[in-house]
Chain A
């Protein structure tokens, strides 16, 4: 693979296969060429190679070379075919195209080479058979036979002469060493031989030891070559003496030519050996050379014929080696060409695949300067531009992520605000489905999180929410930009006053995109407004009514005093009337005082206080009062309550008002058991709600209870279910609690009765 991604900066891949290096290719080519030249040299010099070297070394060396080349060819073929097979199995790009190309190139290389190999081997075999044809064999054999016969005749001639001289030479003269007597017998022989030499030896007997052989004399032809001394014939003569019969040998002369020699023993009459005669025939250099040449030609021919198999094997091995070299070169070249053609395309395909997988820093190496190289360069430029584009895109994505994060943070911030604000917010999308609803809206309207995503008609189809549904319908229908309306909902048998602002959302293109409802609970505000109004009324009543009461009372007392001396009936009538006037005036004064107290209720003086102590102190007042009846006041005070910042006097009044109210509800201090037989019980309990940071004070009675419709009115001034009293007790309680930053709620007790729950904020620790 010629693809390499880079981590830091794009680089052109530089990894090359070993066989792609020009140096390696050159070295391989030189090596193959050297082997080829060596093979041709061996083929040319094969005739000069000794037979032993040829049959024992050269032949097996060539066989080893053939096997090595065959192994190399097999390796190249098997390796590349296996690679092709694997590439096709793995569906590599252009594997099929490359396979077809390789097969075609291999067929173009292998088929002709195999045909040439077969035909060449057959030609070598036929040629080798023709070398040893019958006519050549006959000619060489005839020449050899002529030379051999010439030698044989010359040797026979010397043998005959030696045998004849041995017979005619006198053993006695020989024993006596009479050279003069012997010379005439032998001196004619060299002349008749033309190039002849006769040497005579005699034995010398030594008593007790083997006889010795001594050279006596020699006679030679005049035309014998004088520049070279013929070798001694002593050994040949001794051999003939020892064996007792003729011995022959050839002695080559240094100056050329050869002496054909035969030694014959000279016997005495008693059969003993008296000496030996050696006859030598000189064959001249020219004759010898011709004979040797004929013999050499014959031996060469016979040597070739005998070693025909190994020689033929050598030539066939050389031819096989050359063919294998060509085959290897052609095969490798074919594979190389196929690779050179398909590799750039394959690189581009794999590069495109890698870039498609996101590897944009990939670069390809342009191995050639042709059109494929230009294509690779264009591919690299495209990859670079894609990389740049991706970097820009990545930057944009990162900026967008930052923006999204900011938007998300802002959205969560707004959602948090929406969740925490007391204002209810509901948004509807263009399809009229609820797309936003915050916690305040859920709490104020009694909805849950399931409302999200539902149609507004469904969400607001509840009867108590019909005013809101109507408002939404009206706003949507009129496409009003903003409608503000106060809506009163009946929730849990009490009225909830909402200030609702409905706004239609219109996009920049003027398209309707939904609506938003924003509403606030203004019930406490309205209630406060009512209380303020009542306080103003109370103040006016206290001022306008209390002022005339004293003159009225004084006038009534004056009338009674004036008519004190009147007759009894008159006096009685006056007394009765003035008493009634004075009594009612006193009642009116009390009433006016309560109004004045309600109107002039001072602000609390807050101090850290244990609420349990206040409760205990207040409830001690009822110890003696409630002894006459069955009313019980139980305390369930939680120990260890945190202190609360309250005005102890006002809180004491709160507790007394609530307990008084409960006692009244139960029938007064002397009330007996409840209709069911249960004793009238008032329970005052405290608890600590650490999670909300409040101390909770609960006053519960088991009286008849208050209807749900009247519960919200209990805290209104001058509202009383008892039909007596001023109706300011619970109003004062609520006002004190509100001034302390707390809250009071009224509810039903189980199985009967009423529960007042006061929550006061704890003192911060």
Chain B
């Protein structure tokens, strides 16, 4: 593929794949295929609920960890994971100055940090992620169905389930799409 044909192909791919299917769950997920890479943007505003706000207002460090998986569904076996990424957002509220210190990290590396004294701003920063890279486009088969699943787990938690391995995710979002080429 030449450099001249790339924008055309990208436009076609985006036009075909983006409106594939709506996301489901508390987290709104949008798969993005651009520049030959598969990424996902998601908004998890409902996940930042009263419990999370209470934790933040208490001065505790709240960390929301998002596990983003690009998978191909399988009818009779576990779904095949094509690519994955783990991003996290942390917020620490200084009860003395009333400032929220928000930082984001990906795969353990801090990628962004900001301060604000506005809680809605802090909530939006905590729950919004753009273009989280998942895999390169050549790993996807043409005309095949895929989905992006985002699972969020907040820490610390105010409640606990009986067993950590079932229902451990606080929020889940999923968006299905067909990779057309």
Contact = CB atoms under 8 A, between A and B. Distances in A.
A147 interface: yes
A287 to B, nearest CB: 12
Given A148-B96, A148-B98, A295-B96, A313 B160 contact: yes
A309 B157 CA distance: 9
A250 B97 contact: yes
Query: Looking at chain A, what size class is its interface with the partner chain?
Result: 20 to 34
A56 B59 contact: no
B34 interface: no
Contact of B59 (A151, A152, A303): A303
B143 to A, nearest CB: 42
B158 interface: yes
B55 interface: yes
A310 B158 contact: yes
Contacts of A54: 156
Contacts of A51: 60-61, 156
Contacts of A306: 54-55, 58, 60, 156, 158
A292 interface: yes
A309 B159 contact: yes
Interface in B61-120: 61, 63, 95-98
Which interface residue of B61, B63, B95 has the most chain A CB atoms within 10 A? Answer: B95
Contacts of B97: 148, 151, 155, 250
Contacts of B163: 60, 63
B158 A307 contact: yes
Contacts of A144: 95-96
Given A148-B95, A306-B60, A52 B156 contact: yes
Interface in A233-250: 250
Interface string A39-54: 0000000000001101
Interface in A725-765: none
Main SS class of interface, A: helix
B156 A56 contact: yes
Interface string B129-168: 0000000000000000000000000011111101110000
B57 interface: yes
B160 A309 contact: yes
Contacts of B59: 295, 298-299, 302-303
A305 interface: yes
Contact of A55 (B57, B58, B95, B155): B155
A291 interface: yes
A291 to B, nearest CB: 6
Nearest to A298: B95
B158 A151 contact: no
A433 B92 CA distance: 123
A685 B109 CA distance: 136
Interface in A18-72: 51-52, 54-56, 59-60, 63
Contacts of B160: 55, 59-60, 63, 309-310, 313
A496 to B, nearest CB: 109
Contact of A303 (B58, B96, B157, B162): B58
Nearest to A53: B156
Contacts of A63: 160, 162-164
Contacts of B157: 55-56, 310
A382 to B, nearest CB: 59
Interface in A135-185: 144, 147-148, 151-152, 155
Contacts of A60: 160, 163-164
The 9 closest A-B pairs by CB, nearest first: A299-B59, A302-B58, A55-B156, A51-B156, A60-B164, A306-B58, A295-B96, A52-B155, A303-B60
Interface of B: 54-55, 57-61, 63, 95-98, 155-160, 162-164
Interface of A: 51-52, 54-56, 59-60, 63, 144, 147-148, 151-152, 155, 250, 291-292, 295, 298-299, 302-303, 305-310, 313
22 contacts: A51-B61, A52-B63, A52-B155, A54-B156, A56-B156, A56-B157, A59-B160, A60-B160, A60-B164, A63-B160, A63-B162, A63-B163, A63-B164, A151-B97, A292-B96, A295-B59, A302-B57, A305-B58, A306-B55, A306-B60, A309-B158, A313-B160
Given A55-B155, A155-B97, A295-B95, 5 more contacts: A63-B162, A291-B96, A295-B59, A305-B58, A306-B60
